[in-house]
Amino acid sequence: MSSPQPYDTMDDRQTAPRSGRSSISIAFLFYIITLCAILVAALQRISVNEAVTGWVVAAVLAVGIGVGLLIGLLFGVVRVKGPSGALVGCCAGAVVGAIAGPISLIGSDQFYSVLALTLFGCWILIALMLLATRLGDS
């Protein structure tokens, strides 16, 4: 009985060779497209308000990104404790702030229509994820 060679066994640090496929799936692309459509439909309601000008949107966008960066940085440093956590927290916070800032300009008269639109869109997104998971398992 011979002892196994180091290349005969595979430990936790080794990984299987990668195939030539991309790491981003087509389902992920559909998720992003659906999410963008939901956001565009929600943000389209801002154009109804005459008081909202380009400068107001730019200011709210800048404030949203700034606050998101700060909260993301704090969360990344406290939760992950490292420079990678801070970087990921900043990026995630900037994206969330860039979305939340302009959405805050939606008037109270449009609230229920935007709420219905986003809830319906999110359920479509969840259904797409479930469908992709089911198709990926088979």
Q: With 0.85 as the threshold, say if the pTM is over it.
A: no
Token pair for 85: 């956590």
pLDDT higher than 80, residue 136: no
Amino acid present at 16 = A
CB 27 within 8 A of CB 128: yes
What secondary structure letter does DSSP report for 48?
G
In the numeric block, which tokens belong to residue 88?
């990921």
Mean pLDDT on 9-30: 59
Say yes or no to pLDDT of 44 above 60.
Answer: yes
Q: Which residue has the tokens 């927290």?
A: 89
Distance CA 63, CA 42 (A): 19
pLDDT at 85 over 60: yes
Coil vs helix vs strand at 43: helix
